[in-house]
Amino acid sequence: MAGKLTHIDGQGRARMVDIGDKDSTARTASARGIVRMGTAAYAAAMSGGGRKGDPLRIAEIAGIMGAKKTADLIPLCHPLALTGVTVEIVPLDDESGVEVTARVRTEGRTGVEMEALTAVSAACLTVYDMLKAVDKSMVIERIELLTKSGGVSGEYDRSKRP
């Protein structure tokens, strides 16, 4: 199995993948996550205010910052010059929480899947932090890659999986 993992060399040692010979192409990725919470925390999230500020807008900013810091957090990720990051947090229809979606773009030699996933993770954790005084039982769930484009491995779309 170790030979099939790109971040493991033939001797089983971790390595940062050499992308020097790859072509620079447009790369995009999107990811999603959900924060489930009780009714009091949901009401606080939807109120748009609190002692710390608007929980959802602050979490969106945290997600953007997370995408920009991915290489500092994930040991073998390359530092990337991102050309765009958006994070959107919307209420779930059943009022049980919020859905976080991140979209990341760059022009480069490696993909931005980890940046999109890190953006969602940071935003979800910030929602938790902003609302934990009201509900410590919140659950962060289903952080997943939705789409990616660009590069040798081509397109990926979770909705088209068999």
Q: Which among 54, 94, 129, 135 is annotated as catalytic?
A: 129
- Asked if 131 and 55 touch (Cβ cutoff 8 Å), the reply is yes
157 is a catalytic site residue: no
113-145 burial string, b = 16+ CB within 10 Å, else e?
bbbbbbbbbbbbbbbbebbeebbeebebeeeeb
Neighbours of 59 (CB within 10 A): 25
Residues annotated as part of the active site: 129
